[in-house]
């Protein structure tokens, strides 16, 4: 399973755009990239998933370059409630059947 | 997205007793569910894979006789912490793969988590 590397922490202010980059140099051909958000004492919440290029949904965008060795989660106009830990995971959910190995994640703190 | 629910949200038990935590997929069938534990300020650690109708698969270093997993139906998996001790106190989280419904696809959905405190 591909290992991921993310910054341990990031700080931002309300209304700013936040970009969190994740490195996954050993990503396999069949691997998807998935981002989760976790608040204290809650289970992780699915944010976005992608395979290549760009994916956008109502809460975030995911940018994946052609070599797929990294990905960037973009949160537009963050608010205080976006303060959380963000995890980047890669895996072939078909073969691993959903076994996810979490790294340390990125603690995002949004200030007023 | 799909919904996974855990019960109880928190439980306190005496040392030496056993406690059961339930994980349900509310709007989809899950042949496979997963159990994690998380200590404060740390990341999630995968404990085991729960397979409907068969034995669970445990990660290296996880005691299968201590953490009993039963996946009795396509919507329910249970984790029983046997002979609990204070060091078992942790946040336990389950997840399920929404693989059978088109709306869920291959995404993994997590429960709300269950806090276990052993005193």
Q: What is the pLDDT of residues B32-64, one digit of tens each?
A: 899 999 999 899 999 999 888 888 999 999 999
Contact A43 B113 (CB under 8 A): yes
Contact B46 A104 (CB under 8 A): no
Q: Which of A25, A4, A100 is nearest to B108 (CA)?
A: A100
* Residue in chain A nearest B3 by alpha carbon: A45
Cα–Cα distance, B57 to B34 (Å, whole number): 10
* B22, B81 Cβ separation under 8 angstroms: no
In chain A, the largest separation of any two C-alpha atoms, in whole Å, equals 43
Mean pLDDT of A81-105: 79
Tokens of A80: 């205080």
Neighbours of B114 (CB within 10 A): 22
- Answer whether residue B119 shows pLDDT above 60: yes
How would you list the strands of the sheet with A18-23, edge to edge? A18-23, A70-75, A61-64, A53-56
Q: Report the residue of B11, B44, B113 to disrupt the A interface, i.e. the one with the largest count of A CBs within 10 Å.
A: B44
Chain position carrying tokens 């069949």: A30
B76 touches chain A (CB under 8 A): no
What 3-state class would DSSP assign to A15?
A: coil
| pLDDT score recorded for residue A3 | 82
Identify which has the larger pLDDT, A94 or B45: B45
A66 touches chain B (CB under 8 A): no
List the beta strands (DSSP E) in chain B: 4-7, 10-13, 19-25, 32-38, 45-51, 57-58, 67-73, 76-81, 90-97, 108-110, 114-118
* A6, A21 Cβ separation under 8 angstroms: yes
* Residue in chain B nearest A106 by alpha carbon: B43
- Taken in order A40, A45, A48, A49, the sign of the CA dihedral is positive
* Distance (Å) from the alpha carbon of B83 to chain A's nearest alpha carbon: 24
Q: Which of B104, B46, B91, B8 is nearest to A46 (CA)?
A: B104
- Answer whether residue B29 shows pLDDT above 70: yes
**In chain A, which residues have their Cβ closer than 8 Å to the Cβ of B106?**
32, 93-94, 98
What 3-state class would DSSP assign to B86?
A: helix
| pLDDT score recorded for residue B102 | 42
Q: Report the residue of A97, A105, A106 to disrupt the B interface, i.e. the one with the largest count of B CBs within 10 Å.
A: A97
pLDDT tens for A3-56 read 899 999 999 999 999 999 999 998 888 888 999 999 999 999 999 999 999 999
A8 touches chain B (CB under 8 A): no
A93 touches chain B (CB under 8 A): yes
Mean pLDDT of A90-111: 77
Q: Which of A45, A72, A70, A68 is nearest to A56 (CA)?
A: A72
B117 touches chain A (CB under 8 A): no
Chain position carrying tokens 């290029």: A53
* B96, B3 Cβ separation under 8 angstroms: no
**In chain B, which residues have their Cβ closer than 8 Å to the Cβ of A45?**
110
* Residue in chain A nearest B105 by alpha carbon: A93
């Amino acid at each position: 399973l591909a290992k991921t590397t993310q910054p341990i922490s990031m700080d931002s202010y309300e209304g700013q755009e936040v970009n969190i980059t994740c490195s996954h140099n050993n990503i396999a051909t069949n691997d998807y990239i998935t981002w989760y958000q976790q608040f204290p004492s809650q289970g992780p919440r699915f944010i976005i998933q992608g395979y290549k290029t760009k994916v956008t949904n109502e809460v975030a965008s995911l940018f994946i370059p052609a070599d797929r060795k990294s990905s960037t989660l973009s949160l537009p106009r963050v608010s205080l409630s976006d303060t959380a830990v963000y995890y980047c995971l890669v895996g072939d959910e078909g073969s691993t059947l959903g076994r996810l190995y979490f790294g340390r994640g990125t603690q995002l703190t949004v200030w007023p | 997205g799909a919904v996974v629910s855990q019960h109880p949200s928190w439980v306190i038990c005496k040392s030496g007793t056993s406690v059961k935590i339930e994980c349900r997929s509310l709007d989809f069938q899950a042949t496979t569910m997963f159990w994690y534990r998380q200590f404060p300020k740390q990341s999630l650690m995968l404990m085991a894979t729960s397979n409907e109708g068969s034995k669970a698969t445990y990660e290296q270093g996880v005691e299968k006789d201590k953490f009993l997993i039963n996946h009795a139906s396509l919507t329910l998996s249970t984790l029983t912490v046997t002979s609990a001790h204070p060091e078992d106190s942790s946040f336990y989280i389950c997840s399920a793969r929404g693989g059978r419904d088109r709306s869920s696809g291959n995404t993994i959905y997590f429960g709300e988590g269950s806090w276990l405190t052993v005193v």
